[in-house]
A and B are shown apart, each in its own frame.
Chain A
Amino acid sequence: MAVDAPPRPPAPATARGGLRHRLAERGVDRVLLLLLPAVLIIGLLFLYPMMYGVGLSLQPKNGGGPFGNYADFFQDSYQRSTVWKTLKLALPAALINVGASVPIAYKLRGRFRGRRVLTALLVLPVTLGTVLVADGLLRYLGPKGWFNRILLDLHLVDEPVRLIYNYWGVLFSLLITGFPFAFLLVLSYMSGIDPTLERAAATLGAGPWQRMRRIVLPLLAPGLATTFVLAFVLAFSVFPSANLVGEPAGETRVMAIAAYQAAFEKYDYSMASTIAVLMGVFELLVISVTLLLRGRLYSGPATGGKGS
């Protein structure tokens, strides 16, 4: 369907002479035709369905005005609680992932033997995917799994700790799948900070802790905000792990599950679209707050030397 790119743009470059010249001066010329297929595909496969979904969400199946679905969602405590459950999983997961990445990336930033191998090991879970991690957690953290067995043999606990089919299992799966992304991003931001700045601070008598707090962290903060946003997006769409290692009917009934159930179990596409739209709204809310805070942080060159 969306594959065949139309050969012509709607308006620009068709008129002759003066208009074309003036457009070219503003950067509109035939090179932009290269952009057209991509924009068309995203428009057709992303923007149109989104708009369609928003429209659908305003036409409730059970009647009750255009905002009937939204009212229903917030009046039904079973549905409303999904928002809080999702945030309760996604926010700590994103915060822990970003927070843990900072010291590790700080130590890994210099050059040393085995750095590449260690980085690869830490990034490995990216390829595992949520489903595989969830499956592995069921085996590993289960009551007969190795983790509980070690705890039992060390006499740290008397009976197996319940770590799956509840909140913790989902949180662990989010940490395992989300950490590599956060770590990679933080590492690349950290590598962008000129080490001479720290050395300069050291010659002025700053200890390691002061260097970290006064030099590295302020320079890193905007990057950390971006990383947090991306980690949050990743954690917010928790779906397979909430179903597999969580308690999908209770504690970990996240918004994605509610939307899925509405669409493919109750066949109420209108309600499903409502929940999907609300998911987007809540997520963009957290993102904009983060980006707003980020705007107040230092932003500028992180390189040393003249003029910066």
Chain B
Amino acid sequence: MTTAVSRPAGLPKRGLPRGRLSAWLVWACVAFFLVNLFGLILSVIVNSFGTKWFAGWLPQGFTGSWYSDAWSEFALGEVLTVTLEITLIVVAMALLIGVPAGYALARRDFPGKRAVMFLLLLPVLLPPITYGIPLATVLYKVHLAGTMTGVVAANLVPALPFVILVMTPFVEQIDTNVESAARMCGARTRQVFTRVLVPLLLPGILAAGILVLVRTVAMFELTFLVADADSQTLIVALYSAAFTPGIRAAQAIDAMAVIYMALSAVLLIIALMFVNPTQIVAQVREAPAE
């Protein structure tokens, strides 16, 4: 901004076509990306319905039987139940613990706050494998690995800081006078929370909850390191099937992939109904700068 551009006329004339050319280039790149992305998704979907697909643009015939195969062979009903249970427990616990913590971080300035912020930021910054392996080692030692508790605990590590980082700026937006007024009218701390803060924070809580939901369903590494056959989520089951090709039919694996995709798509639609993606990231971005 310090460099003031001072070039007289003559530029705008040339500027327009060049700007248009670059625009076309950008749109072409976007289109290329999207076309390939849909090709990728579509080839999985088509393959999951195909009978045999050796050569040619499309499979030789279409069938829906791979879905029933995948459903029974991979015990998908059970896996889906486990996935839902784990995700919902993680979301509930992350919100229950994270929202008050976000409130405390937003409202108080105390010695050691930077250290706490750093501690909360680390699990978001480090790759899951880095802390996942030591965590799995510890969980195996205390015999929690392979249980639902262990999987929930592992997934809580990135989810909880995420909720706190999302919630802190939301709390900062709320005027402290509202709380003071409620207290003056005789509300106790619990009432201030349930009657004043939670309703005001509801958009933020919803956003954080949905994002944690999406992330936990997609979280592969931690669940993979900690879970066993009874406590694995859908994404881990999909990986295990895809990593041992030849044992199962590729189409059945793709059928499972499509089921996973459907689950994700539903979650994405729900998320987009409640969350404006650009806003939520902007608020996450501001939190660490505090």
A127 and B264 within 8 A (CB): yes
Q: Does B235 contact A (CB under 8 A)?
A: yes
Q: Which of A129, A147, A219 has a CB less than 8 Å from the CB of B264?
A: A129
CB distance from A47 to the nearest CB of B (A): 7
Per DSSP, chain A at the interface is helix
Q: Please give, as numbers and ranges, the residues of chain A lying within 8 Å of B98 by CB-CB distance.
A: 38
A188 and B220 within 8 A (CB): no
A256 and B242 within 8 A (CB): no
Complex Cα spacing A230 to B243, Å: 28
Closest to A263 in B: B133
CB distance from B95 to the nearest CB of A (A): 11
Q: Does A236 contact B (CB under 8 A)?
A: yes
CB distance from A51 to the nearest CB of B (A): 8
Q: A104-B26, A132-B260 are in contact. Are A50 and B131 (CB under 8 A)?
A: yes
**Which of B78-86, B200-208, B279-287 has 4 or more CB atoms under 8 Å from chain A?**
B279-287
Q: Does A78 contact B (CB under 8 A)?
A: no
Q: Does A259 contact B (CB under 8 A)?
A: yes
Interface bits B144-171 vs A (CB < 8 Å: 1, else 0): 1000010001101100110010000000
Interface bits B122-145 vs A (CB < 8 Å: 1, else 0): 110111111111111110001010
Complex Cα spacing A124 to B41, Å: 11
Q: A28-B110, A120-B272, A133-B40 are in contact. Are A233 and B261 (CB under 8 A)?
A: no
Closest to A187 in B: B278
A131 and B101 within 8 A (CB): no
Closest to A278 in B: B130
Q: Which of B5, B30, B55, B239 has a CB less than 8 Å from the CB of A122?
A: B30
Q: Does B181 contact A (CB under 8 A)?
A: no
B39 and A45 within 8 A (CB): no
Q: Please give, as numbers and ranges, the residues of chain B lying within 8 Å of A35 by CB-CB distance.
A: 100-101, 104-105, 116
A39 and B116 within 8 A (CB): yes
Tally of contact residues, A, Cβ under 8 A: 109
Q: A45-B157, A127-B268, A197-B1 are in contact. Are A207 and B14 (CB under 8 A)?
A: yes
CB distance from B286 to the nearest CB of A (A): 10
Complex Cα spacing A35 to B2, Å: 43
Complex Cα spacing A273 to B22, Å: 48
Q: Which of B5, B125, B220, B277 has a CB less than 8 Å from the CB of A210?
A: B5
CB distance from A139 to the nearest CB of B (A): 4
A131 and B126 within 8 A (CB): no
B153 and A2 within 8 A (CB): yes
A104 and B133 within 8 A (CB): no
CB distance from A41 to the nearest CB of B (A): 6
B277 and A184 within 8 A (CB): yes
Of residues 22 to 77 in B, which have CB atoms within 8 Å of A's CB atoms?
Answer: 22-23, 26-27, 29-30, 33-34, 36-37, 39-41, 43-44, 47, 53-55, 57
Q: Please give, as numbers and ranges, the residues of chain B lying within 8 Å of A32 by CB-CB distance.
A: 104, 108, 110
CB distance from B143 to the nearest CB of A (A): 11
Complex Cα spacing A126 to B214, Å: 9
Of residues 225 to 284 in A, which have CB atoms within 8 Å of B's CB atoms?
Answer: 226, 229, 233, 236-237, 239-240, 243-244, 256, 259-260, 263, 269, 272-273, 275-277, 279-280, 283-284
Complex Cα spacing A207 to B6, Å: 11
B19 and A208 within 8 A (CB): yes
Q: Which of B27, B33, B101, B125 has a CB less than 8 Å from the CB of A287?
A: B125
Complex Cα spacing A243 to B15, Å: 48
Q: Please give, as numbers and ranges, the residues of chain B lying within 8 Å of A33 by CB-CB distance.
A: 104
Q: Please give, as numbers and ranges, the residues of chain A lying within 8 Å of B15 by CB-CB distance.
A: 207-209
B285 and A136 within 8 A (CB): no
Complex Cα spacing A129 to B220, Å: 8
Q: Please give, as numbers and ranges, the residues of chain B lying within 8 Å of A59 by CB-CB distance.
A: none
Q: Does A144 contact B (CB under 8 A)?
A: yes
Complex Cα spacing A35 to B15, Å: 55
Complex Cα spacing A56 to B141, Å: 13
Of residues 1 to 21 in B, which have CB atoms within 8 Å of A's CB atoms?
Answer: 1, 3-9, 11-12, 14-15, 18-19
Complex Cα spacing A287 to B118, Å: 14
Q: A49-B134, A263-B137 are in contact. Are A128 and B105 (CB under 8 A)?
A: no
* 8 pairs of A and B residues whose beta carbons are closest in the complex: A53-B134, A237-B127, A38-B101, A34-B100, A127-B264, A27-B110, A136-B40, A188-B282
A interface with B by C-beta (< 8 Å): 1-3, 5, 26-29, 31-35, 37-39, 41-43, 45-50, 52-53, 56, 100, 103-104, 106-107, 118-140, 144-147, 149, 176, 179, 184-185, 187-189, 191-192, 197, 201, 204-210, 214-215, 218-219, 223, 226, 229, 233, 236-237, 239-240, 243-244, 256, 259-260, 263, 269, 272-273, 275-277, 279-280, 283-284, 287, 298
B interface with A by C-beta (< 8 Å): 1, 3-9, 11-12, 14-15, 18-19, 22-23, 26-27, 29-30, 33-34, 36-37, 39-41, 43-44, 47, 53-55, 57, 93, 97-98, 100-101, 103-105, 107-111, 113, 116, 119-120, 122-123, 125-138, 142, 144, 149, 153-154, 156-157, 160-161, 164, 214, 217-218, 220-221, 225, 235, 238-239, 242-243, 253-254, 257, 260-261, 264-265, 267-268, 272, 277-279, 281-282, 285
20 residue pairs bridging A and B, Cβ less than 8 Å apart? A46-B119, A46-B131, A118-B30, A126-B214, A134-B242, A136-B43, A139-B43, A140-B40, A149-B57, A184-B281, A187-B281, A205-B7, A205-B11, A208-B19, A239-B129, A244-B242, A256-B221, A269-B137, A275-B133, A276-B134
